[in-house]
Amino acid sequence: MRGSRIQRRLLLAFLAVLFGALLPATILIERRVGDDVREQVRRALEREAVVLAGDLERAAPAPADVPAWVASWEGRADARVTVIAADGRVLGDSGVQASELASLENHGSRPEVIEALQGRAGSSTRSSATLGQEMLYVAVPAGKPPSQVLRLALPLEQVAETVGKAQGAVWLGGLVALALAVALAAFMARRLARPITAMTRAARAMSRGDFDAPLPPPPDDELGELVRSLATLKTQQASRIAELRGETEKLRTILNGMTEGVALIQHGTITVANPAFAKLLAARDVEGRRPLEAARLPELAEAIDSAGEARRASEREVVVAGRTLHIHALPLGEPAGKQAVVMLVDMTEPRRLERVRRDLVANASHELRTPVAAIVGVAETLAAGASEDAEARKSFVDILLRHATRLSRLTNDLLDLSRLEAGYKPRVEPIPVHASVSAVLAAIAPRAEAKKLTLESAVPKDLLASADRAAVEQILTNLVDNAVKYTPEGRRVRVAAEARGEKIRLAVEDNGPGIPAVHLPRLFERFYRVDDARSRELGGTGLGLAIVKHLVLANGGEITVESEVGRGSTLLVTLPRA
């Protein structure tokens, strides 16, 4: 049976009522019709018997002529005709030959005959001893007072056939009425179930978050009140869901924009996580998985479990794919719920800066200790009386000047480095590279002449760089000054430049001792020296190349070094071309 469940239930209820009402009524009518038909047959036989009794009275045949009179009605009467004398003898019978009448038993004791001899019509139903079948007997008196009895007998098979036809008509009518009632019940069930089905579909759609499902027109009854209430509920829920979705989108946007990883753990499973959470764990599709499935980090699971058990925040620190992650787990809800909010913070850069600051303090202290100790020692010696000796005083003053100069240079380099790291922004402009190189070489020429070094320039005059002028000159000054310091006497230092597409490459070449390959990756670190003793002797602070690297990167360039022991070094700087 197709249709909704409510429609089927209504139809079944209607059918139960119909069957409960029609079936007993049909049975009762069928039985009543059977009784009525039997009574009508009896009355018909009685009327026919009265007619025949009147004819018998008019004919008044002698007893010997009664069989002939009975035979005259054979075929005309609808039943078996019998004439019985007042003493019970059978005078004539349409179903028995005249010669056999004497062998028939006395009928005076028959109930219908007794009633007829008493002057009224009688009837009875019994099995016929002569014919051996069930018969309906109707007897009426003939004559006044009754001298004879006329009896008609009809087989019950004929009566049953007549009754069956009548009962069949009753059942046929009942079936037709039932069919019409079933059709009407189906129509009514469908009509009553249609708005309920529509409301059910709308409610089911609302449970899925779809508030566009239509509602039926509200009828003017209690069902209409339900439809209107559901429409009001739908409008309110749609508004609330829209607000919740808006808040959820805002929250999701905030979470997705965070650099920290945030995840919600419910029942031991990650239900919500922002992209940063998966990125920091170096995992994919973390939502819907357990923490240990998303990332093989026992520390993460331990932090979550610890937060749930202790009911307070739990913290761990772990290294994942080269990143130092700080895990912060905060419990939510009941302990049995295993709910927690987990935050991952990338501590790689803060830890690196902490190490850099620690190393800077250590290195700066180490670098400052030597000149400060020397200055203090010389000052104490002079204060002890050495200032009276002119020759000693001159030597001590030279020491003071040398270490004070070194201290000043170190302080200036530290200030420059601090300025660069604090957010230095270059003033970019077109710079004639040839003019900047010439100015730097002219400034360093006296120191180069003191070591009998040759300074060479191979820079086109029309070459323009897009950078900060002061920064370019400081870069060149540091690189050329380093080359002069570490190049032996009588050799050369060469500065070259060329255009390469959208870039300009500057090269500072020397033919000094060169740098071993093991030192090249760390050459631009703060306070890193290839030859620590020689660098200090030459007045180097160990910060020059670190400053150069910061300046180059801030101006959108790159710096590399090429070197071979015994054959010199080349520092290559790439800057944007104007």
Contact 121, 46 (CB under 8 A): yes
The residue ranking higher by pLDDT, 152 or 218, is 152
Q: Dump the DSSP string for 153-222.
A: EEEHHHHHHHHHHHHHHHHHHHHHHHHHHHHHHHHHHHHHHHHHHHHHHHHHHHHTT------PPPPSSH
Rg, the chain, Cα only: 64
Residue 144's identity, in one-letter code, is K
pLDDT digit string (tens) for 37-68? 777 778 888 888 888 888 888 877 887 788 88
Contact 215, 202 (CB under 8 A): yes
pLDDT digit string (tens) for 246-295? 888 888 888 788 888 888 888 888 888 888 888 888 887 888 888 877 78
| Rounded distance between C-alpha atoms, residue 113 and residue 124, angstroms | 10
Phi, psi of 409 (to 5 degrees): -65, -40
Mean pLDDT, range 465-493, rounded to an integer:
86
State what percent of residues in the chain have pLDDT above 90: 1
The residue ranking higher by pLDDT, 140 or 401, is 140
Q: Which domains does the chain have, with CATH numbers?
A: 7-162 (3.30.450.20), 258-346 (3.30.450.20), 351-419 (1.10.287.130), 426-576 (3.30.565.10)
User: What is the model's pLDDT at position 365?
Assistant: 66
pLDDT digit string (tens) for 113-144? 888 888 888 888 877 666 666 788 889 898 77
Mean pLDDT, range 96-114, rounded to an integer:
83
Contact 304, 269 (CB under 8 A): no
Cα separation values, 326 from 273, 288, 570, Å: 16, 23, 42
Q: Read off the tokens for 177.
A: 């009425």
Contact 464, 431 (CB under 8 A): yes
Chain-centroid distance of CA 238 in Å reads 19
